Amino acid sequence: MTLKALVASYLEPKYIARIRRAVPEIELIYRPDLIGAPRFQSDHTAPHERTPAQEAEWRDLLARADILFDFDHTHREDLPQLAPRLKWIQATSAGIGQFVKGYGYDRLGWIFTTSSGVHARPLAEFCLMAMLMFVKNYALMDQQKRSATWRRFHNSELRGKTVGIIGLGKIGRELAQVCKGFGMRVIGTRRDTSQTVEAVDKLYAPDQLAEVLPQVDFLALCTPHTPETDGLLDAHCIGLLRPTAVLINIARGAIVDQRAMTAALQAGKLAGAALDVTDPEPLPADDPLWRLPNVIISHHSASTADTENDKLTDLFIRNLRNYLAGAPLENQLDVEKLY
């Protein structure tokens, strides 16, 4: 029986054609009329309302699917009942562990593969942008432009600054390479400190975070959200950072005590923050972070590059081939570790 793969979020027709050419053994089912139209390029969470007839058609497709490209966000709770043949989901996001656990999917025997690595470069470049904006005093530039004020000022440079990277997975390692290219000192944490990591000057174990924090000019959070990292950067840890330090969070908002971070930013005990993620999301309109001039907010969009679907397509093709061959899949989620 031919395996059926159902595409559950938008892909451009050229990528659908590429998958079909590359893996003709799989019946790829793509019905863009039954899924959300993208609000922006590489949008994989677009809302969609179906007519009763369309919903019946979609449920029929789910019932026949062996593989899903992306999660079906219109049927999070009842997906196990609607997709009894489902064996594997290829996600379009890297940080899916808490999502999988939260909906009980981890108990179903399904295989999950993440998009780990797909977003590494865009996220590393976002961190670099944030570091440059702070080191070059962009907030003052913007303020003076808005007020039509011409007043000279000084700035600094990244060379010689220390960046601490919490979590040296694919994103963290990409960021390390970028920072090293700018002459920065790079330190970071990872579980296994027995082997060196390219472009990283010194490795620390996760339980040595208190040694890392006082050293850094920039702290980049790149770690997965797991029970161990939930609330990792609490008020005590934030207090260990220098008043001149900048916090960059491209991980998950729940990793940081947001109230303590906001208080430190307001009191001048933390120089700035660049936040791709917050807790909660969306960030409420009355949250003080919106109004702080030393905060950059990127609306969980730092990873959403126009190159994303091209990379996701290639990853899915490789994994489809591996699946057919009975070979290990790339980026398979460990449902115990949640990454």
- Residues that are catalytic: 252, 300
d(CA 142, CA 294): 12
In angstroms, the CA 79 to CA 77 distance is: 6
Identity at 78, one-letter amino acid code: D
d(CA 180, CA 182): 5
**Rounded to an integer, what distance in angstroms lies between the CA atom of residue 190 and that of residue 224?**
11
How open is the CA angle 9-11-17, to the nearest 5 degrees?
A: 130
Give the start-end residues of each E strand in the chain: 4-7, 27-29, 67-69, 88-90, 111-113, 162-166, 185-189, 202-204, 218-221, 246-249, 272-275, 295-297
End-to-end Cα, the chain, rounded Å: 32
DSSP-assigned states of every residue in 1-29: ---EEEE-S---HHHHHHHHHH-TTSEEE
> What is the DSSP code (8-state) at residue 75?
S
Residue 64 amino acid letter: R
